[in-house]
Amino acid sequence: MPVVAHSAASLLEAIGRSTDAPGAATGSSPTVNALAGRGMRRRIQDVGGRVDMQDTVVFDRPAYGRAILEYVWDNYDLMRKPLLTWLVATAQSADSEDHAVAALAELTVRHGTVDYLTTLSELVGGSHPQVLGAVMESAVRNEHVGRLAWEALYGWAEQKSYAPAVIALCRRILEDSSVDTSLAKRAIVRLRRVAHKNNGDAVVTQVLDAFDALVQHPSVAQRLAGEVHGWQQGKVSARGGTLAFLALMTVRRDGTPWLVCSPPPDIDVQRAVHDLLSCADTAAQVISRLTDWIRSCADDPGAYTQLREQLLPALRGHNMFEAGMKLMNELRGISTAEGVSVADDFYNHLVDSRLRTVFPLEENIA
DSSP assignment of 161-200, as one string? TTHHHHHHHHHHHHT-TT--HHHHHHHHHHHHHHHHH---
Q: Is the pLDDT of residue 21 over 50?
A: no
Quote the pLDDT of residue 356. 58
In this model, does residue 20 exceed pLDDT 60?
A: no
Tell me, what amino acid is at 85? Answer: T
Kind and range of the H or E run holding 99 = helix 99-111
SS3 95: coil
Residue 359: partners with Cβ closer than 8 Å, 6 or more residues away: 351
Amino acid at 360: P
Q: How many other β-carbons are positioned within 10 Å of the β-carbon of residue 210?
A: 23
CB 146 within 8 A of CB 139: yes
Model pLDDT, residue 45: 79
pLDDT at 366: 39
Please give the DSSP secondary-structure letter assigned to residue 355: G
- Range from 206-210, 250-254, 342-346 that averages highest in pLDDT: 206-210
**294 burial via Cβ count (<10 Å: 0-12, 13-18, 19+):** buried
> Which is more confident, 356 or 294?
294
Higher pLDDT, 173 or 351: 173
